[in-house]
Structure 1
Amino acid sequence: MTTSSASGPNSSTQTTPGGPEVSPEELDEILATTEEFVRTKVIPREQEIADGDEIPADLRQASKDLGLFGFAIPQEWGGLGLDLAQEVRLAEVLGYTSLALRSMFGTNNGIAGQVLVQFGTDEQKKTWLERIASGEVVASFALTESGAGSNPAGLRTKAVADGDDWIITGDKRYITNAPTADLFVVFARYRPADESGPGIAVFLVPADADGVTVGPKDKKMGQEGSLTAEVYFDSVRVSAAALVGGEADLGYRAAMTILARGRIHIAAVSVGQAQRALDESVDSAAISTQGGKPIGDNQLIQGMIADMATQVMAGRALVREAARAWVDETDRRISPSVAKLFCTEMLGKVADSAVQVHGGAGYMRGVAVERIYRDARLLRLYEGTSEIQRLIIGGGLVKQAKKRLS
């Protein structure tokens, strides 16, 4: 697989010749091992994760030992080396349990780590990627601001050149893993947008750099154990070596590329979470009784379960096709948005039906589908809202038609 990279003199191009790094047999082993970990070690402790609002230290260490902090990092840099078509299979497995687990190492593999994998210089990769893949370093993607989220064009954080250095000033919010981050991948505007480009650069900023402050962890509706917070950059000075790819105007392209890739991953996580909601509902329908009979004998309940199963299967097929299109480079814009839109919206519907199948029990804390119902809501918001996905899909198709018909 060949992926886009910076074109400046200090940049490098990522190429994996001869196909994926991981064989089908190796992938099967990774999936089986991870599924055993999820089913036997994580699921029994989901309530502990929710109550403590953190991933226990032994589960964090076990995730490191399994290579989950680097599943999408190339083997050259100590990762497992899954391509996106393989990664979505793993994401479905991880999506089956508390979403906080995947979130713990998601930024290392995804929106933060992939900036380095696809756009970093050789020296930047050498400095950071092995430690990211091992989990020694937690990387955090610092893009979202009060006026810029799904669309990075509204970015207000500034980067000003000062000799060979850059000085970064601005605030970020809702930054995943900020409380535990060792490295922030920071997007900042270095000049006004014009016809030559949006003027956005991306920098590698160590969390312990002077002027970096992380706020208290956010209190969210759901996804307890997934840590987010605001991050403040007060005249933070970094060297020229911190500029990703060695090219200032790279940031917007990097953000859009990495967000598109991440949308397919989130779609796959949604499929895994929807499968869990379906399985919980089927089990509940089989054993819960009303009037002395299992409620699953009721045709209305069967109809709900049938609709849920159909949506899950459709989402699984869609996300795997979108991942294939990414890997063979036939569609890296519309398909990611289609997959994220459908699968995250699908999860919301399945989670709602799961609560309904459970009846009053589905509204009680400590019941899996109640947590899923709350956790699922976030997936329609981050890495591009459903509304943004519709704009990308509709606008992209019209643009293609204009080009074809002109």
Structure 2
Amino acid sequence: MPVERLLPNDDARDLIALTRDIADKALAPKVDDHEKREAYPDGVFETLGEAGLLSLPYPEEWGGGSQPYEVYLQVLEELAARWAAVAVAVSVHGLACFPLFTYGTDEQKQKWLPDMLGGATIGAYSLSEPQAGSDAAALTCKATRRDGGYELSGSKAWITHGGVADFYSVFARTGDGSRGISCFLVPNGLDGLTFGKPEEKMGLHAVPTTAAHYEGAFVPEERLLGAEGQGLQIAFSALDSGRLGIAAVAVGIAQAALDEAIAYANERTAFGKKIIDHQGLGFLLADMAAAVDSARATYLDAARRRDAGLPYSRNASVAKLIATDAAMKVTTDAVQVLGGYGYTRDFRVERFMREAKITQIFEGTNQIQRLVISRSLVAN
């Protein structure tokens, strides 16, 4: 059932209605087949780009939608409720645009940002490495200065949309220590840039996740974003927003699982009545609904703080932690509601459970979120 949303104005309500219409027509009819076949959703991102759904939180002057973050996140949630892999890729695209928009020069933004925000080019975020996931300061991929630019050498890992995206926000080492990381806007197709085979994942099958390998790939100096050594500052500021995107995706998955469980419980009978009328199951569904509503409230609170210009880093971690843990619990309970059917691939809830798991891991594991939250409680 459609979520009744509290939205700030008529434009936002129209945008959610548009999103639902596109999601129901362009995503929902394809998701089951594409996820089973692990087939890339050709044409879907072009459709979303043409509708302006890839650039909502960015200003109109650069081709964005000038929407508050609280509205953008609710659009992500609606997309995730139909197709989580697509919603994750949309969130990652927004994350990949952040370094250029926030730290790029006007000349850099004029050159690349309109195509990125208009959906002509799709982006990916390349921070993690095989031995440096949560510990971003341990990056070893190097960017060595050469005449007119940098040569990149090393490997990156866990890139959503890897090999398919048109550009990558890449973090590589230009010096020593935590202040020796820099950020580059790397186009696909560079000589010396190759991608590994897609990872065989538990879920999110339709959008590839790969490693990238740089062997002396030359990146012109104009593609350095911010100053040398500013990379971790850029990465961490982007991740606050990215964590909210994943929180919204997690709520979308959980809402979809709740809807499937409610529909099944209203149809299936046992001992002479609908199973939803049995108190034990009814209470389970009530707990699921409360978890979804609570998780949504946490990401909206953090987004409203962001929109108001208030500090929101801790709130983003809280939202990511609460929403993704809730998604894991709600999807697992949805499988329980459907019983043996829930354990089969004939019903979507088993896919929702597999998809929910990764939300507890990427954009900083939930253990990292607890670390961020606990450190925020220590007096300076």
Query: How many residue pairs were aligned?
Result: 374
From 196, 202, 210, the equivalent of 2:183 is 202
Deviations 1:231-265 (A, max 9, x none): 011111122111102x1021100000001111111
Match of 1:288 in 2: 268
Give the equivalent residue in structure 2 for 1:127.
111
Partners of 1:61 and 1:162 in 2: how far apart? Answer: 36
Q: Which amino acid aligns with 1:150?
A: S
1:183 maps to a residue whose letter is F
Corresponding position of 2:292: 312
Match of 1:215 among 196, 212, 216: 196
1:92 offset after TM fit, Å?
Answer: 1.8
Give how far 1:267 is off.
0.8
**Which blocks of at least 5 consecutive residues in structure 1 are unaligned?**
1-21
2:218 counterpart of 1:270 = no
**Stretch of structure 1 that moved more, 161-170 or 209-218:** 161-170
Name the counterpart of 1:363. Answer: 343
1:60 maps to what in 2? 45
Opposite residue 244 of structure 1, the aligned amino acid is L
> Would the aligned equivalents of 1:150 and 1:382 in 2 still touch at CA under 8 Å?
no
Q: Find the counterpart in structure 2 of residue 251 from structure 1.
A: 231
Q: Distance in 2 between matches of 1:52 and 1:329?
A: 43
Gaps spanning 5+ residues in structure 2: where? 1-6
Which residue is 1:242 aligned to? 223
Counterpart-to-counterpart distance in 1, 2:340 and 2:79? 28
Alpha-carbon displacement from aligned partner over 1:126-155 (angstroms, at most 9, x marks no partner): 121111122221211111101212231111
Partner amino acid, structure 1, of 2:367: E
Aligned to 1:36: 21
- Bigger Cα displacement from structure 2, 352-361 vs 148-157: 148-157
**Mapping 1:7-406, distance limit 5 Å:** 24-109=9-94, 111-193=95-177, 198-245=179-226, 247-398=227-378, 402-403=379-380
Secondary structure of the 1:87 match is: helix
Q: CA separation in 1, counterparts of 2:128 and 2:75?
A: 27
Deviation per CA, 1:46-93, whole angstroms, max 9, x where unpaired? 212212323433433322221222223321121222231221221221
- TM-score (norm. length: structure 2): 0.94
Q: How large is the Cα RMSD of the aligned pairs?
A: 1.7
Could you tell me whether the CA contact under 8 Å between 2:342 and 2:349 is conserved in 1? yes
**Cα distance in 2 for residues equivalent to 1:63 and 1:327:** 23
Question: TM-score, normalised on structure 1?
Answer: 0.88
Aligned to 1:180, the other structure's residue is in SS state: coil
Which secondary structure state, in structure 2, belongs to the residue aligned with residue 69 of structure 1? coil
- Code of the aligned partner of 2:209: T
1:8 corresponds to which residue?
A: none
| Separation (CA, whole Å) in 2 of partners of 1:95 and 1:387 | 24
Between stretches 319-328 and 44-53, larger displacement belongs to 44-53
Partner amino acid for 2:92?
A: T
Offset of residue 301 of structure 1: 0.2
* C-alpha distance after superposition, 1:292-341 (max 9, x if no partner): 42111111000100100111111111111111112223223211101100
Question: Contact conserved, 1:99 with 1:226, CA < 8 A, in 2?
Answer: no
- AA aligned opposite 2:183: V
Deviation at 1:172, TM superposition (A): 0.7
Identity %: 34
1:11: which partner in 2? none
Residue 156 of structure 1: how far off its partner (Å)? 0.7
